[in-house]
Amino acid sequence: MHGVADQDHSPVGFVDVGCFETARSKVMKYFGNILRFLRAPYVKYLYSLYCHMAFLILFSYLILCDFFPLYDIDVATCGLSNDPGNTENTTKTHLSNKNGTELKATIPYGLQKHDQPAIQEYILLIWVSTLLCEELRQFFSGEAQSVRNKISAYFGVFWNQLDVVAILLFYVGFALRLLPSAECFCAARIALSVDLTLWFMRTLNIFAAIKRLGPKLVMIGEM
């Protein structure tokens, strides 16, 4: 009787192992479904399409509205008209050294000096650099063993050729815009404009996966 009285009557914690495993399996299944959704080919295609559209919009905005020189340049260098009725002008005021009178010279919009490149240029530079890394990954992940065969297989695809030209042309345009020369700035603007056209052409390859447009694009390419 004495041994029975000394027994510990404190409550014992109960863990429902089956309930825990059920909740854990539901959580793992939920996140597994999300992962499978993100890895689905159609979802990847949509992400690629939307990102490419955002890239084109940002690039177009830069060329049209936010591409300025980093130094003073001659208005006549780029062959732009100084007619106030045709272009949006800003007025630059300076003092004459002889009589101290104010002289006003109009500069067409897009040729005003800025202290540094726009933030959009840095974003595009990083973006194109990631595209370059992707092209390098495609090149080195080819099935060919030798470097010569890899080059032949990679450049045998037209879209790869277009990607290489577009990426190189962007770097050339970005480098030219940093040089302290009016001719280089005008050449940079032309190079980036042509580069933007190439990126718009690159959109045709994305649309080739669409059921209605794909066969038509293939037929146009075979003509």
Do residues 91 and 201 both lie within one domain? no
Classify residue 106: in a domain, yes or no. Answer: yes
Residues 157-168 have pLDDT tens digits of: 889 999 999 999
Q: 126 is written with which tokens? A: 């990083």
Q: Quick one: pLDDT at residue 84?
A: 45
Could you give the number of structural domains in the chain? 2
Q: Bigger pLDDT: 177 or 2?
A: 177
Do residues 69 and 88 both lie within one domain? no
What secondary structure letter does DSSP report for 76? G
Q: Quick one: pLDDT at residue 9?
A: 58
Q: Quick one: pLDDT at residue 145?
A: 79
Residues 76-89 have pLDDT tens digits of: 666 554 444 444 44
Distance CA 179, CA 3 (A): 96
167 within 8 A of 135, measured Cβ to Cβ: yes
Do residues 121 and 107 both lie within one domain? no
Residue 205 is inside which H or E element, if any?
helix 182-207
Q: Quick one: pLDDT at residue 102?
A: 40
Classify residue 5: in a domain, yes or no. Answer: no
Residues 4-60 have pLDDT tens digits of: 555 555 555 545 556 777 888 888 888 888 888 888 888 888 899 999 999 999 999
Rg (Cα) of the chain, in Å, rounded?
31
Residues 120-172 have pLDDT tens digits of: 999 999 999 999 999 999 998 878 778 888 889 899 988 999 999 999 999 99
CB within 8 A of 194, min separation 6: which ones? 169
Under the banding of pLDDT at 50, 70 and 90, the label for residue 91 is: very low
148 within 8 A of 106, measured Cβ to Cβ: no
The identity of residue 23, as a single letter, is A
**Boundary of a domain, candidates 64, 83, 112:** 112
Do residues 135 and 198 both lie within one domain? yes
pTM over 0.85: no
Do residues 67 and 159 both lie within one domain? yes
Residues 192-219 have pLDDT tens digits of: 999 999 999 998 888 877 777 777 777 7
Which domain, by its residues, includes 169?
55-73+115-214
